[in-house]
Structure 1
């Protein structure tokens, strides 16, 4: 049941045919959702529910990220001098009627505040230059703090009430946890307008909270100031291109949890084989681990068996999982700090690769290994993809699938090999699965690798079952191998290296996890 639903009262009775009064007919649509339940409202109830509670408020421990968030905010105000920066957490998003999707705050809000999980929708972090520190910042978090037991909000507000959604922080607890000033959200508008003028403008992260954006625009108009909000989105993305030590530690946790999720999937793969929607069994097994060990999945899990593996973003996951097929699993655990892994393995359902499957798999693995071999500080990000494509094109030429040579295909005017791998080889990874998406091209694709960058290496080959240009034995085979990579001072580290990649290692790993009683059928 959604936390925004009202509990049905035991006093409700079956509907009867009664005349509709004028007052009933005039009830507005917005309030009719409350018709399904009854909430107590007597003076006796209000007095009784406000009494008998332990009102002790414990001290709050600083959040781990508070060791690094001040430096992040300082860097942001130096990038956008003279700007009061508004970073909304974002509102709840309606799934259907009065139920919402699980809440996840905006990435930039998380990065600069140090909050995570599903904390405080509708709150706003404001960051601006600190006049007392040259190049420094000051921040204030505006949110709705915990209401008293004697308020109707405590028991009657399904959006914020403690009885409905759990206990929220007090202002004092929030300041202890984040190390910054915290104020009631009702004070936000006045705070945004204070001291605006020639020396201070106002910018808001676009596309996060329409109500906050409207408020910011009203304040700008009233104070005759303007700002380029796209510059804020760009700055926040580019600042995350190089991860700090805290971020790297969170990425390691996310990858480790993801590996445990893959292990759980292999252990329970026989259940998927016996189910008409075996792909969803795989998805569910991974989701259980992600939710138990972290905040959940970092993106929609791809559990694609057989020809479904040739649909790049197959998230419907409603197909059968059959002996003899491959299953491509692209999944990542998002930890409580909201950093996510992004790992793909293509596994033989029966535990052994067929000769045709192995041929495709090893070609993709060779492309991945080649990309790893060139990745190091100073190399252009785009060169990782170019290196993988050289291997892919060469194999496709050897198999007679290209209309000309690999060299001709690799030329900008060719690109025939991309028919079987239309996606890129790498993307940045962090708080978003496709992290730093608003960064400029020269800072991303055309940039040199730098220590602290985290990205994926994920070449693939996809031969759809209706592709008449490939031999019949290859049709319906889709393979992707994806690892998460940290750039070090002199090379790269494969953060997901503990998850087997080579054919013999995968077959032995699957056999060990599934036990001796599980058959390992060789696919035809």
Structure 2
């Protein structure tokens, strides 16, 4: 990787001339500009007489002189649509707003040649503040000109309340957001189809890492990258909830659990899990576990309707899973009540996790108010996952031996609608 060297004065003079003017198209205003403005106004109205400062965040060092790919804070994206590192959004008490971004380096400035992050020779053309203002429908100024009074104060309580207020706005998606989630879902389903087709190659060589790479290629081709790091667990790894190492073999006759999704170019992500046979079909034991999870998944989705409790679908899913575990001989019929009792929750040995969370700009969207939304009711426009699973660990002696080492999760993204629900990820 190249690094900048000191620039002698003669070279700087030589660099300062002889360049043709770059013709740039005038950007059109983004159709979402009005929505961003409305969100800012709604947030501002909750904090009369207060100035709200939201930062995009900074590039994070990976090692030495390299950084991770930058991704702006989701609240920042939600409120203005920008994604530039170090940018600052200032919302004034009346709802007016200013966006402060780095101004491009100019010819004659040494940084025009030496700054690896913002030199046009190193990093490509930089966005002009005027262009950003036209596209986003907001006043844009140079970051260097930001008044010191806009510095974020050390007020943790206010910061927390602003964060929670933005999360409440983000709970209900508008039409633009739902369309973005549909696009991310479509790209993710394509990635899953490509991954499944590559299972024979993963068996021959490459294993889980081959499948991971296959999906990541789709993430790069169709979006900003993965919405979260893929989980690719084959064989007993299918029972490990967050298996991110993805470094095991893929063997014929196993199951492979894949939890992976694309983050779209406008930063909204899907969240999809599929469980595949590595051979032509599931074995009898694998199919029996899969069918139970599928039944729980379908029953949970069928329970979704406006006004129902957020946890209703989870209760339905867990009850279906426990009934299936009784059929498999994992629980005795007389254990059903104890297995489902909120004070004992014996089923969690095999189900491990909750079956739903909100989805949007973050894979676990609005997490700062998770306890609040879990205690609430469904409203049209909410988008969330339905993801029941069973994980029968390879060394779990409470499980019949022929079922050990089988993990199955089926996850889809669902929108609550005025008359029920819409599955955004139906397909592969």
Interval of TM-score (by shorter of Structure 1 and Structure 2): over 0.9
- Name which of 145, 161, 165 aligns with 1:231: 161
Unaligned runs of 5+ residues in structure 1 are 8-37, 131-136, 193-214, 221-225, 500-524
Count of equivalent residues: 427
Q: TM-score, normalised by structure 1?
A: 0.79
Question: 1:242-266 CA deviation, whole Å, 9 max, x = no partner?
Answer: 0001000000000000011011112
Q: Does 1:216 align with 2:156?
A: no
Q: Aligned-pair distance for 1:50?
A: 3.6
Question: 1:365-405 CA deviation, whole Å, 9 max, x = no partner?
Answer: 11111101111101100111111011111121232322642
Q: Distance in 2 between matches of 1:81 and 1:397?
A: 56
Which secondary structure does the structure 2 equivalent of 1:95 belong to? strand
Unaligned runs of 5+ residues in structure 2 are none
Structure 2 counterpart of 1:461: 390
Question: 1:345-372 CA deviation, whole Å, 9 max, x = no partner?
Answer: 0000112011000000000011111101
Q: Distance in 2 between matches of 1:83 and 1:50?
A: 47
Q: Distance in 1 between matches of 2:134 and 2:423?
A: 37
Write out aligned runs for 1:330-409 (5 A).
330-402=259-331, 404-409=334-339
Structure 2 counterpart of 1:172: 130
Q: Distance in 1 between matches of 2:107 and 2:209?
A: 43
Change (3 A) 1:392 1:172: same
Answer yes or no: is the 8 Å Cα contact 2:47–2:93 preserved in 1: no
- Structure with larger Rg: 1
Answer yes or no: is the 8 Å Cα contact 1:402–1:416 preserved in 2: no
Q: Does 1:54 align with 2:12?
A: no
Answer yes or no: is the 8 Å Cα contact 1:385–1:426 preserved in 2: yes
CA RMSD across the alignment: 1.7
Q: Does 1:6 align with 2:3?
A: yes
Q: Distance in 1 between matches of 2:114 and 2:307?
A: 58
Q: Distance in 2 between matches of 1:152 and 1:459?
A: 57
Answer yes or no: is the 8 Å Cα contact 2:15–2:108 preserved in 1: no
Q: Distance in 1 between matches of 2:342 and 2:184?
A: 37
Structure 2 counterpart of 1:242: 172
Q: Does 1:96 align with 2:63?
A: yes
Change (3 A) 1:227 1:307: closer
Q: Distance in 2 between matches of 1:372 and 1:100?
A: 41
Answer yes or no: is the 8 Å Cα contact 1:51–1:149 preserved in 2: no
Q: TM-score, normalised by structure 2?
A: 0.96
Q: Aligned-pair distance for 1:49?
A: 4.3
Q: Aligned-pair distance for 1:78?
A: 1.4
Structure 1 counterpart of 2:252: 323
Answer yes or no: is the 8 Å Cα contact 1:238–1:438 preserved in 2: no
Change (3 A) 1:303 1:440: closer
Structure 1 counterpart of 2:200: 270
Structure 1 counterpart of 2:77: 110
Structure 2 counterpart of 1:414: 344
Q: Distance in 1 between matches of 2:216 and 2:31?
A: 25
Write out aligned runs for 1:298-313 (5 A).
298-313=227-242
Q: Aligned-pair distance for 1:227?
A: 6.0
Q: Distance in 2 between matches of 1:281 and 1:68?
A: 41
Q: Distance in 2 between matches of 1:63 and 1:322?
A: 48
